[in-house]
Chain A
């Protein structure tokens, strides 16, 4: 079946612009996660959606970052007024129910801020 789909695969933008990154989770998965991976580093948790519950935003690095999940499926991560330190690969994962269920990742969006 189809895995987690992310778009765009690459995004280059100028400092100060806003960007939107999209994630399509595996069909039927109620939990959706966003992570950030900086060059040569591990994955840093950003935000977690579980069903209709309020999202866990505890990993968002600043108020320039926000995310929403419409209809319990597709999610969009928005970064406003981008800075060079926002350059990274943004990864999305989904799992069947959360609560320690296996997370399956997409291939990410590579974001470069000039």
Chain B
């Protein structure tokens, strides 16, 4: 089945710096990779996603890159702000048993210090 590894588990940056979170996946059939932000007591919120037919996608301060050959993808947050502090999860879609469910990494707790 699919396995998603996420690093680092915690990340602390100064306000204004960039933050990078990296994930690897195992199933070459995966073709959809979303990123979620989860604040305390809330459900995960989709912040950006990428499909396997593109290598990079940007949305304002957030960008995601995908290397299909190496089976890894990364989230880049530029000009970080204190409100970016949260737990971030990467995921990869897995088609093994159905039309597709997400397999998640274990999360990265990002702290942005003012």
Closest to B91 in A: A43
Q: In the complex, what's the smallest C-beta–C-beta distance from A1 to chain B, in angstroms?
A: 15
Question: Cα distance A108–B97 when bound, in Å?
Answer: 24
Task: Evaluate contact between A100 and B93: CB separation under 8 angstroms.
Answer: yes
A-B contact count (CB 8 A): 62
Interface residues on A, range: 20 to 34
Q: Which residues of B contact A68 (CB under 8 A)?
A: none
Which of B6, B43, B98, B106 is A106 in contact with, Cβ under 8 Å? B43
Q: Which residues of A contact B106 (CB under 8 A)?
A: 41-42
Q: Which residues of A contact B93 (CB under 8 A)?
A: 100
Task: Evaluate contact between B101 and A48: CB separation under 8 angstroms.
Answer: yes
Which of B34, B42, B51, B91 is A107 in contact with, Cβ under 8 Å? B42
Beyond A100-B32, A100-B93, A102-B34, whether A43 also contacts B44 by CB under 8 A is: yes
A50 within 8 A of B: yes
Q: Which residues of A contact B99 (CB under 8 A)?
A: 31, 48, 50, 56, 98-99
Question: Cα distance A99–B93 when bound, in Å?
Answer: 9
Closest to B34 in A: A102
Task: Evaluate contact between B49 and A102: CB separation under 8 angstroms.
Answer: yes
Beyond A56-B101, A98-B100, whether A107 also contacts B45 by CB under 8 A is: no
Q: Which residues of A contact B34 (CB under 8 A)?
A: 102-103
20 additional A-B pairs beyond A102-B46, A108-B43, beta carbons within 8 Å, are A31-B99, A35-B104, A42-B6, A42-B104, A43-B44, A43-B102, A43-B104, A45-B103, A56-B101, A58-B96, A58-B98, A98-B100, A100-B51, A100-B93, A103-B102, A105-B36, A105-B45, A106-B43, A107-B41, A107-B43
Residues of A within 8 A of B (CB): 4, 31, 33, 35, 41-45, 48, 50, 56, 58-59, 91, 98-100, 102-108
Residues of B within 8 A of A (CB): 6, 31-32, 34, 36, 41-46, 49, 51, 89, 91, 93, 96-107
